[in-house]
């Protein structure tokens, strides 16, 4: 009996020694690190040159062997796309029902408008016929000329109505396209009307893959625009035959891409932010929306290595993980800073863990990058007075005292294409219209809005650096204030406010640079790190050092009739940061 028990204990000990854990191992030389891991018996799964590390499956003994050699290690943590969590399913269902009501209202409004136009056309025809009869009766040349003009006007009304109805039927019913509303919330269609549509700029998106959809595959001018599709989990660059079949078994990646670049149209207006931008799709998350640090970092490495090949100017990161270290010590953040250093604009979601303070996730807590929170039109896109922050958007300050998010963008009940066979659509069928569209809320969507906007900015001004892009976006944003001009949301909740596309693409003020006082080269090399000016007083209030009166405060509505004063814009955009000791 005792012998059997001892044997069981020994077998358990041997089994535990053989259990492996995925780790990220840093070294001065990638090849030497790989060789050391293999010599210790570890299984190398990823080479992550962007951060000078490898990922490997190691037993406890193998970890001890490598640690004894002075190699630094981090856990290969899990990370997920920034979708609204299951814990908020009740609120999600409310959003879905309200969204359905909103679509029905929009459809009714459209039908009402069509009837009004039809009535106007009929009245114009009757007026023309009456004028013609009167002219003949009086044999008046001038009257006949007026009657002729009235008749032409009536025909014009009829042609307009016919074309409008034809366009509506083709877009809304035959192709399943529906209004997305969010481009108009931030004046994007005014930018499109100026022939700025993202043409020539490549967006990279790290997410769950891409479905096959004409609005994603083709730009607004009908040209193919997917330059590459890469699976970071298997280290495989897809062939075109694989790309057109689609590889998004979750749906999140397709939805994010649609917000940023969809070229589908309704009533002559694009459904996406940058309909002519090119696209590089990187799949780092599986069917459930979960991924690993190693897969995400390999995806970031792919983007860096192919920056010039595809002219990648901006990358969208609609995922989030809970910070467990200083921003500069996190492996994903280290890779993200490399992209920013290389001249790629990085747009990250703030995360959906709000609304409490200090809930900004990785990589949104990187001070250099553009971090986006979410607002909603409250289901009334035509009424701006009731707009507000979403209930889930994460808030700052960051642990190191930086103001985040940098600003906010539409992120409530956002319509975008999504495969109905995907995991999200199957989990939440009430969101899906049964055809192409899914209504989804999250900072994933708000960051995608800004990613598309950055593509518009870079088409109009190709020489902008990431710091200049961030500065322009901050200056172009407008905060939520009350009728007295007081903030109704803290700057740690809304940053510089709601971004404005037209003001960002066509700025009125002189250019400046964000991140002044920071040194990304020193940060990456580890010779200097930084902290922001945000702090917390004895009563628990958050404030900015040197700016009295700017504390965390509650609010409930939006008013875009007010803007930052010049002094506050200057402070927000080119703050002086201090070294982290």
Alpha carbon distance 326, 322 (integer Å) = 11
Which residue is it, tokens 């003020």?
Answer: 509
Q: Do 211 and 246 touch, CB atoms closer than 8 A?
A: yes
With vertex at residue 280, the alpha carbon angle to CA 223 and CA 505, rounded to the nearest 5 degrees, is: 75
Our measurement of the distance from residue 99's CA atom to the centroid of its chain's CA atoms, rounded to an integer in Å, reads 20
| Integer-rounded Cα radius of gyration of the chain | 27
207 is catalytic: yes
Alpha carbon distance 481, 412 (integer Å) = 20
What residues contact residue 189 under an 8 Å CB cut-off, 6+ apart? 183, 269, 270
Report which DSSP code applies to 320.
E
Catalytic residue among 207, 276, 387, 523: 207
Q: What is the DSSP string of 48-106?
A: EGGGTEEEEEE-HHHHHHHHHTT-EEEE--EEEE-PPPGGGHHHHHHHHHHHHHHHHHH
- Which of helix, strand or coil describes residue 281? strand
Reference 495, options 431, 568, 412; nearest CA is: 568
- Which of helix, strand or coil describes residue 577? coil
477 is catalytic: no
377 is catalytic: no
Q: Do 227 and 202 touch, CB atoms closer than 8 A?
A: yes
Alpha carbon distance 501, 476 (integer Å) = 8
Within a 10 A sphere around the Cβ of 60, how many other Cβ atoms? Answer: 13
Within a 10 A sphere around the Cβ of 324, how many other Cβ atoms? Answer: 11
Catalytic residue among 99, 229, 249, 252: 252
Q: Do 369 and 346 touch, CB atoms closer than 8 A?
A: yes
Catalytic residue among 444, 477, 490, 573: 444
Helix runs in 380-442, H state only: 423-427
Alpha carbon distance 192, 188 (integer Å) = 6
Alpha carbon distance 501, 505 (integer Å) = 6
C-alpha to C-alpha distances, 481 to 324, 385, 497, 558, 565, nearest whole angstrom: 34, 11, 9, 6, 12
Tokens representing residue 342 in the block: 């290389």
Burial of 521 (0-12, 13-18, 19+ CB in 10 A): exposed
If phi > 0 it is left, if psi is from -120 to 50 it is alpha, else beta; for residue 83 that is beta
Alpha carbon distance 153, 159 (integer Å) = 10
- Which of helix, strand or coil describes residue 171? helix
Helix runs in 372-422, H state only: none
Tokens representing residue 524 in the block: 């990456």
Q: List, by residue number, the catalytic residues.
A: 207, 252, 444
């Amino acid at each position: 009996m005792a012998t059997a028990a001892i044997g069981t204990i020994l077998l358990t000990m041997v089994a535990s020694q053989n259990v492996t854990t995925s780790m990220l191992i840093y070294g001065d030389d990638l090849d030497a690190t790989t060789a050391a891991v293999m010599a210790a018996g570890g299984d190398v799964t990823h080479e992550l040159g962007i951060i000078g590390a490898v990922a490997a499956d190691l037993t406890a003994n193998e970890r001890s062997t490598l640690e004894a050699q002075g190699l630094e290690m981090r856990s290969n943590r899990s990370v997920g796309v920034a979708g609204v969590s299951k814990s908020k399913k009740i609120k999600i269902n409310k959003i879905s029902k309200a969204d359905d009501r909103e679509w029905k209202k929009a459809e009714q409004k459209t039908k009402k408008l069509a009837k009004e136009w039809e009535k106007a056309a009929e009245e114009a025809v009757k007026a023309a016929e009456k004028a013609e009869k009167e002219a003949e009766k009086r044999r008046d040349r001038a009257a006949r000329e007026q009657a002729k003009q009235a008749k032409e006007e009536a025909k014009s009304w009829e042609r307009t109505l016919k074309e409008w109805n034809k366009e509506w039927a083709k877009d809304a019913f035959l192709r399943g396209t529906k209004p997305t509303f969010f481009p108009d919330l931030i004046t994007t269609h005014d930018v499109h009307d100026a022939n700025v549509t993202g043409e020539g700029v490549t967006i990279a998106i790290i997410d769950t893959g891409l479905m096959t959809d004409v609005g994603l595959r083709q730009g607004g001018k009908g040209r193919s625009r997917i330059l590459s599709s890469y699976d970071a989990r298997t280290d495989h660059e897809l062939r075109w035959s694989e790309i057109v079949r689609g590889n998004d078994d979750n749906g999140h990646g397709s939805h994010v891409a649609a917000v940023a670049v969809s070229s589908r149209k309704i009533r002559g207006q694009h459904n996406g932010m940058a309909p002519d931008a090119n696209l590089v799709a990187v799949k780092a998350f599986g069917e459930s929306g979960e991924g690993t640090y190693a897969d995400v970092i390999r995806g970031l490495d792919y983007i860096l290595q192919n920056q010039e090949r595809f002219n990648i100017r901006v990358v969208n990161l609609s995922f989030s993980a809970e910070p467990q270290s200083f921003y500069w010590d996190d492996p994903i953040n280290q890779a993200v800073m490399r992209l920013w250093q290389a001249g790629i604009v990085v747009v990250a979601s703030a995360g959906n863990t709000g609304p409490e303070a200090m809930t900004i996730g990785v990589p949104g807590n990187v001070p250099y990058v553009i971090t986006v929170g979410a607002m909603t039109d409250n289901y009334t896109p035509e009424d701006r007075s009731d707009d507000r922050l979403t209930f889930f958007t994460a808030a700052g300050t960051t642990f190191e005292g930086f103001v985040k998010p940098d600003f906010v963008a539409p992120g409530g009940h956002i319509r975008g294409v999504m495969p109905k066979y995907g995991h999200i659509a199957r989990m939440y069928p009430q969101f899906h219209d049964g055809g192409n569209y899914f209504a989804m809320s999250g900072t994933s969507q708000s960051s995608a809005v800004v990613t598309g906007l950055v593509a518009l900015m870079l088409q109009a001004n190709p020489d902008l650096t990431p710091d200049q892009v961030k500065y322009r976006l901050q200056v172009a944003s407008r905060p939520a204030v009350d009728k007295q001009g007081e903030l109704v949301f803290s700057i740690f909740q809304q940053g510089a406010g709601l971004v404005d596309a037209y003001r960002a693409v066509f700025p009125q003020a002189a250019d400046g640079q964000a991140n002044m006082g920071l040194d990304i080269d020193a940060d990456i090399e580890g010779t200097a790190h930084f902290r922001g000016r945000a702090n917390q007083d004895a009563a628990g209030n958050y404030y900015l050092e040197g700016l009295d009166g700017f504390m965390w405060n509650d609010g409930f509505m939006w008013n875009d009739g007010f803007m930052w004063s010049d002094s506050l814009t200057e402070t927000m955009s080119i703050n002086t940061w201090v070294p982290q000791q």
